[in-house]
Amino acid sequence: MLSLPSSPAPVAALLASAPVVLAPMEDVTDAPFRRVARALGAALCVTEFVRAEQLIARSALARRKATLAADDRPTAIQIYGADPTLLMEAAVIAAEARPAFIDINCGCWVPRVARSGAGAGWLRDPAAMVAMARRVVAAVDLPVTVKTRIGWGPESDMPIVDLARRLEDAGVAALTIHCRTAQMGHRGAADWRWARDARAAVAIPVIVNGDVRTADDAVRALADTGCAGVMIGRAAIDHPWIFGEARARLAGERVAPPSDADRLSVYRTLLAANIAARGPRPGVAVTRRHLGLLGPVVGPALRGPLCAAATPAAAFDLIDAHLATIPPGSAGGGEVRATAFVAP
């Protein structure tokens, strides 16, 4: 297990050992999903973002998001908000969980977040963003990182390279760059060249993010940009095996894709974890967002029945009945063993 960092330098060490990172995703990268992703190769994870005001109020939601179990490490806690003072206070509270580092969300483009000045809203005023980051860095004894986009608006006004230098000067320990503008949302193609240019301008680690859909994409993103890490978000929702696949590619190896039995087993594991964490009916409901885990063969057969299953017993019965139809040792779509990747 990686040691918990106490200064900015270990962020580089974390990425040297675990360059393929699970991105923070609201309503996705909770503790049960992180545990599944970690077992499949995601050695370094980031929590869902936690609103500063909720952390300060120590709300039930914030406590759930920011609690890190002993086997949920190394994991960073991501915070967001529009008020620098509240972000400072939230960072101090987040630090109590001793995460690997504290990440500030300056990249969420969703209107309800960005219009308030939080998330990518900070890109409208880069000077204020840098000043905020400096205050958060000074408030805690853990590394502070920033996840952001390449700019707010048109490509002609792209502050990311200069912004990277200024954030480094403010004491930020690493920078994750989603290579789209805030106004693009998820539209258009991510341009990894911006991460490459920012990486060349600073000494701190830069992590490239955006349009990393396959293990080969992850390898190519690292090679094309020279970044210290690559962060994977949406592709991991339906295919968390991407982390083990990418780690294998980086080691010059390949692993077979998951079998149908693997897919069912991972969905079953996640279902059980969500039920334990949230209660029976909410656990069943929240796991449905991961029906894509079942793949192109099993998915069409079970999607409808699992959406209709309202109780744990009904959901488990469907999964177990389908598992029973798969011959032992059957490769299905190709086998990948349930290797528990351990962070070095």
Q: Which residues are identified as catalytic? A: 108
Q: What type of residue sits at position 127?
A: A
Cα 95 to Cα 104: distance, rounded to the nearest angstrom: 13
Cα 313 to Cα 214: distance, rounded to the nearest angstrom: 34
Length of the chain: 344
Q: How many CB atoms lie within 10 A of CB 338?
A: 13
From 175, 298, 290, 176, select the one nearest 241 (Cα to Cα): 290
Q: What type of residue sits at position 303?
A: R
Cα 85 to Cα 104: distance, rounded to the nearest angstrom: 13
What is the Cα Rg of the chain in Å? 20
Please report, in angstroms and rounded to a whole number, the separation of the first and last CA atoms in the chain.
6
The answer to whether 34 and 75 are in contact (CB under 8 A) is yes
Cα 11 to Cα 171: distance, rounded to the nearest angstrom: 13
Element (H, E) at 176: strand 174-178
Token readout for 224 is: 């094309």
Dmax (CA) for the chain in angstroms is: 61
Question: What DSSP character marks residue 312?
Answer: H
